[in-house]
């Protein structure tokens, strides 16, 4: 579990910064694809090899853990002024539904098909999410970076060195 969470920490900032500069949906698609590939790797190649398990879980966490914040940022790009709390509440509601329903279906899959089914199930959900993301990309254009109401902000103000790493030079005036 720790290795997956550490993986999520490793890519959280880079994916967040890239999503500020490019279409967020493209970064969401990239992170989802990385999660899907890591899930398939874990389902078919890791298993009894401890090193492969660690590597697969690290990569899975690196791409899967930032997905919620990327999706939240995308949703907030489309929120009207004063609607950000409502958007956050809606995101948490649907995340909670997934956190309740997802494990129920996953446990049935594990019972019927064995332990590798967990990541096959996860990869299936991620593939469906990728298709949905592609459909939404075709249906509507992205919010240009200059028109977004909110952008990435680092919250670790205790370290001047980390602040220099996390904020691009042209954005220093906003900090």
What confidence tens digit (pLDDT) does each residue in 98-144 have?
Answer: 999 989 988 998 899 888 888 899 999 999 999 999 998 888 877 76
Predicted TM-score of the model (pTM) = 0.77
Confidence of residue 82 (pLDDT cuts 50, 70, 90): confident
Q: Are 7 and 35 in contact (CB under 8 A)?
A: no
Fold of 2-144: Growth Hormone; Chain: A; (1.20.1250)
pLDDT at 152 over 50: no
Angle at 3 between CA 134 and CA 126, to 5 degrees: 20
- Taking the C-alpha atoms of residue 51 and residue 139, their distance in angstroms, rounded to an integer, is 42
């Amino acid at each position: 579990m720790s290795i997956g969470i550490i993986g999520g920490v490793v890519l959280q900032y880079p994916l967040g910064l890239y999503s500020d500069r490019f279409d967020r949906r493209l970064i969401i698609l990239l992170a989802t694809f990385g999660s899907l590939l890591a899930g398939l790797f874990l389902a078919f190649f890791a298993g009894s090899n401890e090193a492969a398990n660690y590597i697969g879980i690290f990569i899975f966490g690196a791409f899967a853990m930032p997905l919620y914040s990327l999706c939240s940022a995308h949703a907030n790009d489309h929120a009207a002024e004063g609607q950000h709390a409502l958007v956050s509440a809606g995101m948490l509601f649907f995340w909670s539904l997934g956190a309740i329903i997802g494990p129920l279906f996953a446990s049935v899959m594990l019972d019927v098909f064995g332990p590798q089914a967990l990541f096959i199930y996860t990869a299936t959900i991620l593939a469906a999410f990728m298709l949905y993301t592609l459909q939404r990309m075709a249906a509507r254009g992205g919010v240009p970076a200059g028109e977004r109401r909110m952008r990435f902000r680092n919250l670790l103000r205790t370290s001047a060195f980390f602040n220099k790493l996390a904020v691009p030079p042209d954005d220093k005036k906003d900090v």
